[in-house]
Amino acid sequence: MSTLDWQAPHGGAWFDPAAAGGAVTSLTLHDNPDRTGPAAATVPAPAPLRPGAYRFTIPDTLPSGRYWGTVAFTPAAGAAAAVDRSVRIDLPTGTGLVASPEEVAEKIGIPLPLTGAQRDTLRTAIEDAQADVEAYLVRPLVPRLAILNGVRPEPGRDLGSWKAWAYCGPDDDFTVDGWTLMPDGTYDVQLRVGLDGAAERPIRRFVVAHAAESLRNTPTAGGSSGRRVSSLSAEGQSISYEGAPSAGQAGALPVLATLDGYRQPPVYVRPRPAAAPWPYGGTVSLWR
């Protein structure tokens, strides 16, 4: 099953409709950016993920590709219904990729929808770019799921924060996916442990740019080279291409150094000093 995590926008900020007596009604997906015509799918009310966040579960019957959606919700009790028209999702999700083939295709000018062959080629490029980032950061970009059973939160902490649970340490990234209150007063907590590259915009941008650049000079990657044309002769017998902007210039490709903030600090082990030779230290002599 693919999922979509959604937060309600209001006045340029995120807020929780349920806290004001409102509710999230449904998600409607369309196969065109105008969001017109028959809906490709209508997903009923989502499950609360944590305060202010909701998770829609999208059926696997939808074909792979890009969809544009609208979320209907009531901001507060007695308020008029509202619609969020900013939803866009590439299916399927949860495949272990930081970015989708559609994002890379859009970057190099391959029209949507993609064919199966194009999707496989783009997926391979994303996997290669993702592997380079993982090698640089020395950590995976896909978190692992973990469940804490029968735990109690730290008093006064938001249950949606990893700091509420003493079993989470600062030596890794923790995201609370949800929790269940048990009859004995303890909680079962669902966590994502590790760096979630798909949720980090700088990582997504680098992976997409890296994958797109690796395919940019390969016309067989989908029928479009994506190279920047600077001039073309009238007879079409010669063509010139622009060079890519240098690092640091506007429009330049991101560099790996922009991801340094995601590297874990090294752990240094202080070596024990060597013991002085006897009779100044070390083994005690048995001679008197």
Residue of 125, 114, 127, 126 whose CA lies nearest to 63: 114
- Amino acid identity of residue 178, one-letter, is G
- Which of 3.30.1360, 2.60.40, 3.40.50, 1.10.287 is the CATH number of 1-93? 2.60.40
Does the pLDDT of residue 223 top 50, yes or no? Answer: no
pLDDT the model gives residue 102: 97
Q: Give the pLDDT confidence of 58-91 residue by residue, as tens digits.
A: 999 999 999 999 999 999 999 999 999 999 999 9
Q: Give the pLDDT confidence of 253-270 residue by residue, as tens digits.
A: 788 888 999 988 776 666
Does the pLDDT of residue 235 top 80, yes or no? Answer: no
More confident residue, 250 or 207: 207
pLDDT the model gives residue 81: 93
Residue 73's beta-bridge partner residues? 24, 82
Residues 6+ apart with CB under 8 A from 280: none
Q: Give the pLDDT confidence of 188-200 residue by residue, as tens digits.
A: 998 999 999 999 9
Domain spans, the chain: 1-93, 95-139+198-223, 144-194
Does the pLDDT of residue 288 top 50, yes or no? Answer: no
Confirm if 98 and 204 have CB atoms less than 8 A apart.
yes
Lowest mean pLDDT among 31-35, 65-69, 129-133, 248-252: 248-252
What's the angle, vertex CA 63, arms to CA 59 and CA 65, rounded to 5?
A: 110
Strands (E), 7-143: 8-10, 13-15, 23-30, 41-43, 47-50, 53-58, 65-74, 82-91
> Average pLDDT, stretch 121-135?
96
> Average pLDDT, stretch 140-152?
92
pLDDT the model gives residue 67: 98
pLDDT the model gives residue 230: 58
